[in-house]
Amino acid sequence: MIYTITFNASLDYIMQVPDFKEGETNRSVKEDMYPGGKGFNVSTILQRLGYQNTALGFIAGFTGQQIKKELTQRGFICDLCELETGLSRINIKMKGQKETEINGNGPYISSGKLAELMDKMDTMKKGDTLILAGSIPSSLPDDMYEKIMAHLKDKEVRILVDATKQLLLNVLPYRPFLIKPNHRELEEIFQTEINDQTELISYAKKLQERGAMNVLVSLGKEGALLIANDQHVYYCPGAKGTLINSVGSGDSMVAGFLAGYLKHQDYSEALRLGSACGGATAFSKDLALKETIDEVYQQLKTEVIQ
């Protein structure tokens, strides 16, 4: 079974405000609302690619119930811990000449509810896959991902981590199957400016040396690099299309990479499908549908560059 965890679930309220003026009353011309959370995004794309999975995480209040209702309609299993107090957050994403976000803080997660989540993970077994993606709420310890990987280290669970800075560095000794920094995040980790592909590969390999089995570096419209566990470096150019939505593109890439690897046990194919899913979501209003992913997949080709 594949599992995802979303610690800080949200309802994403998307408002189209073509001519936003600070300090004045603004009116949107269109609104949409979707369940948000990186783990939920991964679960959605996996389901659309035909991979049944279970979404773990926390929800609270009437917003939490709406999140659960909408996620259940997407077809994957929702095994969520329901908090006694508070509300799952609402994130406002305002799209105009620039894209502005206001993200809520999220409800308090008690030690008892955290223990409930850990109990759910105790059912995982050898061959299962877990995706850890997104930020950690302020009510949980900063090393939450590290604690989870330590908890599961004897179960031989394949773990993918999409996180930033110290949250990512802390998990490397536990040999995650995949990490996915982007160009900017690599610069932040190593506190340096990275100017070309050679330097990108060099710094990504440093993360591999610290423990990551595979390092997937997303480069936006320039494509993606994969420093793979088979000692090769793969490159996939960026898909061609009109950017509509950047939210969820990275999560879609993670889902596609995993699906491609599980289907073919081949890193080149994993990178190709991951890139297709990321691009397809970027070209869609919401997370990509299977038809769009298939269309983008056909235009992509990976190559071994080292």
The separation between the first and the last C-alpha atoms of the chain, rounded to the nearest angstrom, is 33
Instruction: Give the pLDDT of the chain (306 residues) as one tens digit per residue.
Output: 999 999 999 999 989 999 888 899 999 999 989 898 999 999 999 999 999 999 999 999 999 999 999 999 999 999 999 999 999 999 998 888 888 889 888 899 999 999 999 999 999 999 999 999 988 888 888 889 999 999 998 889 999 999 888 888 999 999 999 999 989 999 999 989 998 899 999 999 999 999 999 999 999 888 999 999 999 999 999 888 888 887 889 999 999 999 999 998 999 999 999 999 999 999 998 899 999 999 999 999 999 988
What is the pLDDT, as a whole number, of residue 302?
Answer: 92
What is the pLDDT, as a whole number, of residue 21?
Answer: 86
CATH assignment at residue 165: 3.40.1190.20
- Candidates 292, 299, 1, 260; CA nearest to 128 is 1
- Catalytic residues, which ones? 251
Residues 249 and 186 in one domain: yes
Residues 162 and 56 in one domain: yes
What is the pLDDT, as a whole number, of residue 254?
Answer: 96
Q: What is the DSSP letter of 182?
A: B
Strand-pairing partners, residue 11, are: 35, 90
Q: What is the DSSP letter of 173?
A: G
What is the pLDDT, as a whole number, of residue 93?
Answer: 86
Structurally, the chain folds into a number of domains equal to: 2
Q: Output phi, psi for 4, to 5 deg.
A: -120, 155
Domain, as residue range, for 163: 1-176
Q: Write b or e for each residue in 89-103: b if 16 or more Cβ atoms lie within 10 A of its Cβ, otherwise e.
A: bbbebbbbeeeeeee
What is the pLDDT, as a whole number, of residue 73?
Answer: 93
What is the pLDDT, as a whole number, of residue 100?
Answer: 86
What is the pLDDT, as a whole number, of residue 153?
Answer: 87
Residues 123 and 222 in one domain: no
Residues 156 and 242 in one domain: no
What is the pLDDT, as a whole number, of residue 242?
Answer: 85
How much helix, strand and coil, in percent to the nearest 5, is found in the chain?
40, 25, 40
Q: Of 176, 196, 214, which closes a domain?
A: 176
What is the pLDDT, as a whole number, of residue 297?
Answer: 95
